[in-house]
Amino acid sequence: MKKFKSLLVLFFRKERLPCFPESNEDGFTLFEILIAVVVLGFVIAGLSQATRFGINAWDTQARIAERTDEMERADRVLRLVITEAAAPLAADDKPFAGQEHRMVFVTHLPSQPPTDPVSRAQVALGVDGEHRLVLRWEAHANAIAIKPPPVAPPIVLAEGVDHIDVLYCQSVDDGGKWLHVWDDSSLPALVQIHIVMQDKRRVWPAVQVATMLDNNGSF
């Protein structure tokens, strides 16, 4: 009996399996895990910077497009109303009064026949107290109006405007000089408007428009 117990003890000592099987593959060390975490952090930071750069580039492009649209819209309106500036109807008529930072003049309304009782408008261009380039206009009747014409809402051409500088050029027969003030009964040959923005980084190209006055001083 004692011999049998001894054999059992020897058998189990030699043949019993370990609780966990042995493996030849080694695991990651703590140092390797830390390096992997650091590298992953750099990758995430790079992706975050790239995403932020893309968003900022998109916002910048959107602002540039918006400003370009604003410039083009203002340029079209200014060219339209100045090109269609009305000639004086009488010798003492002064339909165009220009100052250094604003101007008031009479212009033809687009798509209106000349025989229409209200085919012209009196336009005032200037910068208001909210630093907006505003175009104010009201109907200018060709005859005595029975009742005052309704006042149209102002047209905001641009925002963030500090001021405008306006120059008026005489016709060639009158000397062709550039003036800061226009009080003549005739129309200027050219009108130049320089829009100065509050943000000095925004540079607005000067708008130069010719009226319907030809080089001979007539229409």
DSSP assignment of 153-218, as one string?
PPEEEEESEEEEEEEEE--TTTT--EES-B--SS--SEEEEEEEESSTT-BPPPEEEE-S--TTS-
Q: Output the pLDDT for position 26.
A: 60
Q: Output the pLDDT for position 193.
A: 95
Q: Which residues pair with 137 in a beta bridge?
A: 123
Q: Output the pLDDT for position 38.
A: 83
pTM, two decimals, is 0.62
Q: Output the pLDDT for position 151.
A: 65
DSSP assignment of 108-142, as one string?
EPTT--TTSSS-EEEEEEEE-TTSEEEEEEEEE-S
Q: Output the pLDDT for position 214.
A: 45
Mean pLDDT by 10 residues, the chain (219 residues): 51 48 62 82 76 60 60 88 81 81 86 55 91 86 57 84 95 90 90 93 89 52
